[in-house]
Every structure is written in C-alpha cells, then in structure tokens.
Amino acid sequence: MNKEKKWIKLIQKKSDEHAANELVSMYYSQMYGFVYKQTINKELALDLTQEIFISMLQSIHHFEGKRASFKTWLYKIATNRIVDYYRSRHYKYDRMSDAMEELFISGEEDFTVTLERKEEVERVTFHINELDLFPQQILRLKLFADYTFAEIATTLDVPESSVKTKYYATIRTLKRRLEEQNDEKRNMAR
C-alpha cells in the first residue's frame, strides 16, 4: 500500500508516467475482471477497462484518500462507467452484433453453453440496467466485484444498513422480474 500512495503522489505532483503505469498494472486485471463479468465480451471489456483508467488518470488530481481507499475510488469510477455504457445508444447495437460474432467463432461444443451463459447474463444485466443508479451500483459492486456490504457503504458513502436493505429489496425485485419473464416465455410457448 505504501507503493500505491507513493505512485499516486508522483502522478498528482509530477504526472509521472512510470508511476501511472505501475498503478494501472496493479489494478488492471481486477478492473478487467469486474467489467468482463458484466459484459461477457473480451473486446468490450478491454475498451471499457481502458476508459476506466483514462478517467482515473484524468481525475486522480482530485483524489485525496480521506473518504475512501484508492481501490474503492477506482471501483466507483468503474461502476459509473459501466452504468454509462449500458445507458448509451451503442449498447443495443453492440449487444446484438458482438454476441452473434463471438458465438459463430466458438467451437460447436462450446456454442450451446456460451449461448445460454450469454443469454442469462444479458437477461440479468437488462434488468439491472432498468434500476435506478443507487441499486445498480450496489448490485454491480456486490455481484461483480465481490465487495462486502461494508466496502459498498464506504464506496457509496452511505450507511451499511442502507446498503443491505437496498440490496435485499433489489434482489427480490430482480428475482420477481426474472420469474415474470420466464412465465411470459412459457405462456408464449403454449
């Protein structure tokens, strides 16, 4: 952690490129994994991860480290970038073209498993995207970044009890929406 603080100070004071590279290297795989779990698309995850680090470097001069750790601050940037992506116009087009392209490239045995996994992730992601920002942030940090309730509370600067309450209420809502969607599919199949 001392290295991390040293790198941050060097970036803030001298725009040190070596320190920036070290800091990005330290968190790159975590951020990429966080994004990939929510997109199931390698190229998109790479692009969004790059955008997250660009945003981080552009705003690092405002990071003080008093209210939250650097990691917490970085996950907040990442969560906001993912929310922005799913609200963008490009999302609907990218979703269809990338999914089909990647499926046709996979082997036949993997095709069915990949298709089912993508469809399930897309269904859940669709419903998460329909939520207000606060519950979206909570779900993304809990489900995709494996944050604890305490870490989420710190990241979002709200009481832990509020995070837990909102998380469980949102999970119930999400389950209900998915069940309704399954019921609609079954009724259409009849």
Nearest 5°: phi and psi at 174?
-60, -45
| Side-chain-side CA neighbours of residue 142 (13 Å) | 20
- How many domains in the chain? 1
Q: What is the pLDDT of residue 91?
A: 57
Rounded-to-integer distance, Cα 64 and Cα 41, Å: 33
pTM for the structure as a whole? 0.71
H helical segments located in the chain? 2-14, 17-39, 42-59, 70-87, 90-105, 108-129, 133-144, 149-156, 160-189
Phi-psi category of residue 131: left, alpha or beta, with phi > 0 → left and psi -120 to 50 → alpha = beta
Nearest 5°: phi and psi at 131?
-75, 165
C-beta separation of 1 from 10 below 8 A: no
Residues of the domain holding 153? 2-189
Q: What is the pLDDT of residue 122?
A: 77
Rounded-to-integer distance, Cα 116 and Cα 107, Å: 14
Does the structure show a pLDDT above 70 at 112? no
**63-91 mean pLDDT:** 84
Does the structure show a pLDDT above 80 at 120? no
Q: What is the pLDDT of residue 116?
A: 65
pLDDT digits (tens, 9 = 90+) for 14-59: 999 999 999 999 999 999 999 998 888 899 999 999 999 999 999 9
Does the structure show a pLDDT above 90 at 121? no
pLDDT digits (tens, 9 = 90+) for 57-72: 999 999 988 878 899 8
Residues 6+ apart with CB under 8 A from 115: 103
Rounded-to-integer distance, Cα 50 and Cα 42, Å: 12
- The residue that leads in pLDDT, 76 or 106, is 76
